[in-house]
């Protein structure tokens, strides 16, 4: 009788990961549940760090490692440092990186009125588009830009004023070795998270830098207003329709109580094509105009640092397709 080979076993709290060169990481509590894995807290050199693990056969960590390596080489500001990485047999892959705080989606949902102050929304908007610009500069697109994939760093590392981009499981190179754009592959299928997906993502088209910026814009509006018109719509085609209407019939409601600069930014984004280089500086300039008009200063506390504003409740995130697929798989097991 052949013995059944066990594989795809994720580690648990209190397990130890021993790397190829003998470093040991004792896993603490789980910080988050990803699509096919778990992120744990751990310690290295007396510093708290994060350990992302993914099932061996489903692992997307290779591309994440590529992104973090490239970001490190190019001195990017809005990315975690890659501390270690490896594979444990046929069980799981792991990636060890800088610890971050709670993501912007969780942080917003924990606020009393579920929306950020203009000061936090604008400053988070500027930092998150800068993170997208850095990702694009190193040759990758995210294809899953959303507030849930950005988080501030932690005080321990003096990074609590910086917002980081994380989760590159759906990322892809958009340029080749010679830095030429990879040609449009036209129809390739859905990628990303329904709530923040670009119109071209809904059309299942190949995505480009402009799609990351369109998703970033939906996140900006949500952080500012606390909601998006398609928040409670589950059917993807109806979400697409709502996004299309937000350009025409419902544009005024969509952008109601947002600064007039947001309207200009949306017009700019909608003019982009697959090949366009988004005008990051122009968009940041418009956001800086909002900052100046409202006398917002960089030193101000973030909303989540202000205890009077926070209610700590459990939040339901907007799940990516990877997470949805993984939970369905779990449920059918
Ligand atoms: N460096 C980090 N520091 C602290 N927490 C983290 C870190 N990286 C990830 N997390 C937490 O773990 C959760 C899952 O991480 P991540 O989004 O990278 O996993 P994923 O499997 O790619 O998830 P998804 O299915 O959303 O694509 C995050 O929502 C976050 O709460």
Q: How far is the CA of 233 from the centre of ligand 1 (A)?
A: 24
List, for residues 162-194, the tens digit of each pLDDT value: 999 999 999 999 999 999 999 999 989 888 999
Q: How far is the CA of 13 from the centre of ligand 1 (A)?
A: 16
C-alpha 117/C-alpha 102 separation (Å) is: 18
Q: How far is the CA of 151 from the centre of ligand 1 (A)?
A: 10
Instruction: Over range 18-22, report the average pLDDT.
Output: 92
Lowest mean pLDDT across 67-71, 177-181, 201-205, 327-331: 327-331
Those residues with Cβ within 8 angstroms of residue 304's Cβ, 6 or more apart along the chain or in another chain: 101, 102, 107, 110, 111, 120, 152, 310
**CATH value of 104-313 in 1.10.40.50, 1.10.510.10, 2.60.40.420, 1.10.3720.10:** 1.10.510.10
Q: Where in the chain is the domain with CATH 1.10.510.10?
A: 104-313
- CA quadruple 160, 81, 141, 77: dihedral, nearest 10: 50
How far, in Å, are 94, 114, 121, 164 from residue 62 at the CA level?
10, 35, 32, 19
The helix (run of H) or strand (run of E) holding residue 165 is strand 163-165
Does 93 contact ligand 1 (Cβ within 6 A)?
no
Q: Where in the chain is the domain with CATH 3.30.200.20?
A: 30-39+50-98
C-alpha 9/C-alpha 53 separation (Å) is: 10
Does 37 contact ligand 1 (Cβ within 6 A)?
yes
How far, in Å, are 54, 105, 167 from residue 34 at the CA level?
8, 15, 9
Residue 264 near residue 88, CB atoms below 8 Å:
no
Q: What DSSP line would sit under 24-58, residue for residue?
A: EEE--SEEEE-SSEEEEEEEETTEEEEEEEEEGGG
List, for residues 30-44, the tens digit of each pLDDT value: 999 877 899 999 999
Does 52 contact ligand 1 (Cβ within 6 A)?
yes
Atom of ligand 1 nearest to the CA of 99: 3
Q: Ligand 1, residues 27, 144, 166: which to mutate, most atoms within 8 A of Cβ? A: 166
C-alpha 112/C-alpha 304 separation (Å) is: 11
Q: What is the ipTM of this complex?
A: 0.96
Biggest alpha carbon distance in the chain?
75
Q: Which residue has tokens 């610009």?
A: 133
Bridge partners of residue 16, in order along the sequence:
26
Q: What token pair was written down for 267?
A: 């017009």
pLDDT at 319: 58
C-alpha 304/C-alpha 108 separation (Å) is: 8
pLDDT band at 306 (very low <50, low <70, confident <90, very high): confident
Task: For the chain, give the mean pLDDT.
Answer: 92
Q: Which residue has tokens 């990051």?
A: 280
Q: 264 a known binding residue?
A: no
Q: Is the pLDDT of residue 322 over 80?
A: no
Q: State in Å, rounded, how far the first CA of the chain is from the last one.
A: 25
Q: How far is the CA of 150 from the centre of ligand 1 (A)?
A: 10
pLDDT at 314: 41
pLDDT at 5: 62
Q: Is the pLDDT of residue 91 over 60?
A: yes
CATH class of 30-39+50-98: alpha beta
Q: Residue 107: count other Cβ atoms within 10 Å of its Cβ.
A: 24
Q: What token pair was written down for 130?
A: 């800068």
List, for residues 251-302, the tens digit of each pLDDT value: 999 999 999 999 999 999 999 999 999 999 999 999 999 999 999 999 999 9
Q: Is the pLDDT of residue 330 over 60?
A: no
List, for residues 208-243, the tens digit of each pLDDT value: 999 999 999 999 999 999 999 999 999 999 999 999
Is the entire prediction scored with pTM above 0.95?
Answer: no
pLDDT at 189: 86
Instruction: Over range 67-95, report the average pLDDT.
Output: 97
């Amino acid at each position: 009788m052949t013995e059944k080979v066990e594989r795809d076993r994720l580690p648990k709290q209190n397990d130890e990961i021993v790397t190829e060169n003998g470093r040991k990481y004792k896993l603490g509590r789980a910080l988050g549940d990803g699509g096919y894995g778990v992120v744990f807290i751990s310690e290295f050199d007396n510093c708290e760090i994060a350990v992302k693990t993914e099932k061996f056969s489903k692992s997307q960590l290779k591309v994440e490692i590529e992104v973090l390596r490239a970001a490190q080489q190019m001195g990017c500001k809005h990315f975690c440092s890659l501390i270690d990485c490896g594979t444990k047999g046929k069980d799981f892959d792991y990636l060890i990186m800088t610890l971050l705080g709670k993501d912007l989606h969780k942080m917003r949902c924990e606020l009393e009125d579920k929306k950020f102050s203009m000061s936090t929304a604008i400053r988070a908007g500027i930092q998150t588009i800068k993170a997208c610009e850095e990702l694009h500069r190193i040759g990758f697109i995210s294809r899953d830009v959303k507030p849930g994939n950005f988080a501030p760093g932690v005080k321990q590392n003096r990074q609590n004023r910086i917002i980081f981009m994380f989760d590159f499981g759906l990322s892809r190179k958009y340029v080749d070795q010679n830095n030429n754009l990879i040609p449009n592959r036209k129809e390739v299928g859905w990628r990303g998270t329904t709530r923040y997906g670009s119109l071209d993502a809904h059309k299942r088209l190949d995505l480009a830098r402009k799609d990351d910026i369109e998703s970033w814009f939906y996140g900006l509006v949500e952080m500012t207003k606390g909601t998006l018109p398609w928040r409670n719509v589950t059917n993807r085609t109806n979400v697409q329709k709502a996004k299309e209407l937000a350009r025409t019939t419902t544009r005024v409601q969509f952008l109601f109580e947002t600064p007039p600069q947001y309207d200009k930014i949306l017009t700019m984004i909608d003019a982009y094509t697959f090949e366009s280089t988004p005008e990051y500086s122009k968009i940041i300039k418009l956001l800086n105009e909002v900052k100046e008009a409202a006398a917002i200063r960089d030193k101000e506390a973030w909303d989540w640092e202000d205890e009077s504003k926070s209610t700590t409740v459990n939040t339901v995130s907007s799940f990516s397709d990877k997470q949805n697929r993984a939970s369905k798989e779990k449920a059918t097991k």
